[in-house]
Amino acid sequence: MYTEKVMDHFSNPRNVGEIENADGVGEVGNASCGDIMKIFLKVEDNVIKDIKFKTFGCGAAIATSSMVTEMAIGKTLDEAMELTNAAVAEALDGLPANKMHCSNLAADALHEAIKNYRENHS
């Protein structure tokens, strides 16, 4: 079913919470499963210095949110925009086929937060 990494990130999610006065915020949802992910960014010199998430969803949704924050922190905005849904799933050593949409949400929420940052800081 779930890999050890998925279970670890579900049981002990990293970077949970909200950033007050975040530089960028992205939210995405999947109506068919009810998952909603929100990502908050703090950006300095075009680099993601802090990142937090709030997710309403299944274990895979929480695990992918946690993983995407770990993958994005310290990256430039351009590098973070290159993170793909497949890369998030791969970093967790895979997801069950019926849960792959969760990885889509995590990367999409990150990309939305970056877009939001760029719209407000251009």
Please state the domain extents for the chain. Answer: 4-120
What pLDDT, in 10s, does the model give residues 88-114? 999 999 998 888 876 678 999 999 999
The fold for domain 4-120 equals: Sufe protein. Chain: A (3.90.1010)
Give residue for tokens 């019926």. 98
pTM: 0.94
Q: Is the pLDDT score of 122 beyond 90?
A: no
Q: Hey, which residues are catalytic here?
A: 33, 102
Q: Is the pLDDT score of 41 beyond 80?
A: yes
What pLDDT shows up at residue 70?
A: 98
Q: How far is CA 9 from CA 13, 116, 118, 119, in A?
A: 5, 26, 29, 31
What pLDDT, in 10s, does the model give residues 60-73? 999 999 999 999 99
User: Are the CB atoms for 45 and 78 separated by under 8 Å?
Assistant: no
What pLDDT shows up at residue 114?
A: 98
